[in-house]
């Protein structure tokens, strides 16, 4: 193949910097883009690396227990990490989220322009506790009522209601949906099975 033949494979205009190379954009530009696998935080793209099998298993367990309860009681919808939510000036992708019927927008073809009622984050080995805590508080400040941070190594759940109302649940405790996902209850140990 000569240079002329290979030129058909070289785009005339190279794409802008790849995400992860300190790309900055507005929230509107992010929403209009086709970028997947990123959260939008303070004007920058934050790559969401692939998760471990353990992370996926825990997320699936949470999804299954919540989904079973929410559907049976027609409380709203459960969304997985394929779905982005606008959380203040950020677009975040919780591992699992609950959105009540009352908050359900009419247009489901776009990212949700509102935060979920419940956000669930499963901590990864690469997560820094301070960043996970900041993310939980960001959800709450934007209107999320309840955040569960699941920590696989210690097999515990941090339940955030506010900056000052944080509970630690261990394997022997029962995780509840409190007044957000009414009637939901599950042993913490079941999330890790």
- Helix then strand count (H, E) for the chain reads 4, 12
Mean pLDDT value across residues 31-41? 65
Which of 163, 190, 162 lies closest to 174, judged by CA?
Answer: 190
Output DSSP code: residue 112: B
67-106 pLDDT, tens digit per residue, is 999 999 999 999 998 888 888 888 888 999 999 999 988 8
All domains of the chain in start order, with CATH: 3-47 (no CATH), 53-192 (3.90.1570.10)
6: pLDDT confidence band, cut at 50, 70 and 90? very low
Q: Where are the alpha helices (DSSP H) in the chain?
A: 3-6, 27-32, 53-72, 129-142
* Residues contacting residue 83 through CB under 8 Å, at least 6 positions apart: 93, 97, 111, 112
pLDDT of residue 127: 76
Which of 152, 90, 149 lies closest to 115, judged by CA?
Answer: 90
The H or E element containing residue 98 is strand 96-100
Lowest mean pLDDT among 5-14, 97-106, 109-118: 5-14
Mean pLDDT value across residues 43-56? 68
């Amino acid at each position: 193949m000569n240079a002329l033949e290979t030129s058909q494979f070289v785009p005339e205009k190279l794409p802008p910097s790849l995400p992860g190379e300190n790309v900055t954009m507005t929230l509107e530009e992010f929403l209009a883009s086709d970028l997947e696998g990123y959260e939008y935080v303070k004007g920058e793209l934050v790559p969401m690396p692939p998760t471990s099998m353990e992370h996926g298993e825990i997320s699936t367990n949470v999804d299954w227990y919540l989904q079973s309860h929410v559907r049976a009681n027609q409380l709203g919808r459960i969304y997985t990490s394929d779905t982005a939510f606008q959380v203040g000036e950020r677009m975040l992708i919780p591992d699992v989220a609950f959105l009540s019927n009352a908050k359900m927008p009419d247009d489901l073809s776009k990212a949700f322009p509102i935060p979920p009622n419940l956000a669930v984050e499963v901590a990864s080995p690469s997560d820094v506790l301070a960043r996970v805590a900041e993310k939980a508080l960001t959800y709450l400040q934007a209107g999320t009522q309840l955040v569960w941070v699941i920590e696989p190594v210690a097999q515990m759940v941090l339940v955030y209601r506010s900056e000052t109302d944080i509970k630690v649940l261990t394997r022997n405790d029962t995780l509840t949906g409190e007044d957000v996902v009414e009637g939901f209850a599950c042993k913490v140990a079941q999330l890790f099975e």
